[in-house]
């Protein structure tokens, strides 16, 4: 595969968006949202990850089988976290 990829402008746009989201993460942390603080922080981090994966890591135009591998790693991570926490959170210790 020669050429391909995104234009330089898109990389800069993604880079600047990531920095803005990072500043947002820090800013929101200084506001007391109670239990929502962690939810907002993780939502922003997940969104940043999606940007990095799709644009910097070129998954947006990668082959279908690459999509399967990327989704599988995310899927197993969700199983690991959700099933583990569903135990601890519901035990009522």
CB of 18 to other proteins, least distance (A): 5
Interface residue with other proteins, options 36, 39, 80, 86 (CB under 8 A): 80
72, with CB counted inside 10 A (0-12, 13-18, 19+), is exposed
Query: Does residue 39 interact with other proteins by CB under 8 A?
Result: no
Question: How is residue 62 annotated by DSSP?
Answer: S
Question: Considering only CA atoms, which of 67, 58, 56, 66 is closest in space to residue 14?
Answer: 56
Report residue 74 as tokens. 């995310």
Q: Which residues bind other proteins (CB under 8 A)?
A: 1-6, 8, 11-12, 14-15, 18-19, 22, 25-26, 29-32, 37-38, 41-42, 44-45, 48-49, 52-53, 55-58, 62-63, 65-66, 69-70, 72-74, 76-77, 80-81, 84-85, 88-89, 93
């Amino acid at each position: 595969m020669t050429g391909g990829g995104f234009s330089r402008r898109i990389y800069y746009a993604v880079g600047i968006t990531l920095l803005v989201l990072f500043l947002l993460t820090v800013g929101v942390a200084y506001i007391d949202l109670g239990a929502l603080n962690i939810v907002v922080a993780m939502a922003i981090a997940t969104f940043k990850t999606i940007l990095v994966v799709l644009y910097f890591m070129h998954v947006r135009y990668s082959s279908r089988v690459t999509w399967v591998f990327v989704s599988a790693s995310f899927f197993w991570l969700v199983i690991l976290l959700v099933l583990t926490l569903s135990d601890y959170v519901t035990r009522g210790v």
